Structure 1
Amino acid sequence: MKRSSASRTHHLVKTFWGWRDQQLPDGTLIWTSPARRTCVTTPGSALLFPSLCRAVGGMPAPEA
């Protein structure tokens, strides 16, 4: 089960139009378009409460 809270529209776009997402342990999402362009979204809570949004878990960071 994905941890992202994407809306139904986001789910449909990702599923049927070739978009991919990757969620990092801190809640950051990396979206990749069918043209291989990326967009990084940071959780709003990270802006308001940065000390509460540190990574929890043993997942390694993705390779660039």
Structure 2
Amino acid sequence: MCRTIAERCAELGVGICVNSDAHLSRLIGGFDRVTSLLEEIHFPEELIMNRNRDVLLDALAASGVR
């Protein structure tokens, strides 16, 4: 399911935010699985909206979030 959504986002040029969805504190920041998936499908880095602070803030501003 996640793979299909990520592939479709890449096709359509839709930005995504990556997170660990951790439910335990020791899992916070664990991006190994999602990183592997995005590399495997050659997901464009420029569509990862939270790849750094400035890109995230720009994406939020562009969406109308203050």
TM tier, smaller: 0.3 to 0.5
TM-score w.r.t. the length of structure 2 is 0.32
TM-score w.r.t. the length of structure 1 is 0.32
Relative to total residues, which structure has the larger strand share, 1 or 2?
Answer: 1
